[in-house]
Amino acid sequence: MPRQPPKPKTDPQEVDFLKAYDPASFDRPSVTADLVLLTVLEDALHALMIRRSEHPFLGAWSLPGGFVHMDESLEVAASRVLREKAGLSRIFLEQLYTFGEPTRDPRTRIISVAYMALVDSDRLLKAQSHGHDVQLARVDVSWAGEEGGPAKLIGPDGKKLSLAFDHADIVGLAVKRLRGKLDYTPVGFQLLPATFTLFQLQRVHEVILGHPLNKDSFRRRMLASGQLKPTGHAQEDVGHRPAGLYRFAGPST
């Protein structure tokens, strides 16, 4: 890049620099933390959705979210939203992506740092009181593999929910990311209770990936990974040979 003659007073970097020191001198975007809280319920992936009670998108469904306060980190903001909106803490939480199209919110410029959270449905159902304005909606993606694209959210009546803002894209990206992570990280455990059978784990993987898995191969891979520790106990009262229960042990610990 050919160097230009220095013009200190109008250099865009210099202007930006001064802006950073004088918050009142220019407009800044608002920044929110939005949460895709996923769980597996009745052999399907579900996300926690909240009905909007304000314009814009009044009556449409949106992800739980809130503004990032000046004294909290993004992760702390996401944890706070998780606690305030779902009554949960200490669950898997990971930054997903930051959405910043200038027109994504018709009110004003709002940049959203999206987080993905995973929890087993028992914990979520205990913590969360569902009602008229909060629900677990089934997540439905029309694409295979890790192709990506927006998600549809289906209510208990089987009808497609109307979603606010770009939240269909955010949920879609969460599913894509989750599918990708499944191959090389032990993330499936996050969607199950503390102890679980191999078949339960396989069902979780199948639900997320959207296609059936080979049982033998899945068993071998999981046991060979060294991340599962047998509890010594087994299922009870199941009407057939009970499966052994496992616990997540972490990598080579």
Partner DNA sequence: TGAATAGTGTCTATAAGACAATATCCC
Partner DNA sequence: GGGATATTGTCTTATAGACACTATTCA
237 binding DNA? (CB under 7 A): yes
252 binding a second copy? (CB under 8 A): no
67 binding a second copy? (CB under 8 A): yes
| Contact between residue 34 and residue 114 where contact means Cβ atoms under 8 Å apart | yes
The burial of 144, by beta-carbon neighbours within 10 Å (0-12 exposed, 13-18 middle, 19 or more buried), is given as exposed
Among DNA, a second copy, none, residue 236 binds (CB under 5-8 Å by kind): DNA
Q: How far is the CB of 104 from a second copy (least distance, A)?
A: 9
Q: Which two tokens stand for residue 158?
A: 């089987």
87 binding a second copy? (CB under 8 A): yes
Q: Residue 66 or 210: which CB sits closer to a second copy?
A: 66
Q: Count of CB atoms within 10 A of residue 160's CB?
A: 12
Residue from 7, 9, 24, 252 touching a second copy (CB under 8 A): that is: 24
Q: Is 21 helix (H, G, I), strand (E, B) or coil?
A: helix
Q: Is the peptide bond before 6 cis (omega within 30 degrees of 0)?
A: no
- Left, alpha or beta for 229 (phi > 0: left; psi -120 to 50: alpha)? beta
What is residue 160's DSSP assignment?
A: B
Angstrom distances, CA of residue 16 to CA of 24, 98, 234, 248: 13, 21, 63, 49
Binding segment (CB under 7 A) for DNA, from list 5-13, 92-100, 125-133, 216-224: 216-224
Residue from 9, 241, 252, 253 touching DNA (CB under 7 A): that is: 241
Binding segment (CB under 8 A) for a second copy, from list 38-46, 109-117, 151-159, 163-171: 109-117
Nearest to 48 by CA among 65, 66, 27: 65
Binding segment (CB under 8 A) for a second copy, from list 128-136, 160-168, 210-218, 221-229: 128-136
Residue from 25, 84, 156, 229 touching a second copy (CB under 8 A): that is: 84
Residue from 41, 60, 97, 148 touching a second copy (CB under 8 A): that is: 97
Q: Which two tokens stand for residue 165?
A: 């803002």
| Contact between residue 149 and residue 175 where contact means Cβ atoms under 8 Å apart | no
Residue from 5, 23, 232, 239 touching a second copy (CB under 8 A): that is: 23
Residue with tokens 């090389």: 184
Q: Residue 72 or 122: which CB sits closer to a second copy?
A: 72
Residue from 31, 36, 175, 192 touching a second copy (CB under 8 A): that is: 31
| Contact between residue 168 and residue 152 where contact means Cβ atoms under 8 Å apart | yes
129 binding a second copy? (CB under 8 A): yes
Residues at the site binding DNA, with contacts judged by CB under 7 A: 197-199, 214-221, 224, 234, 236-244
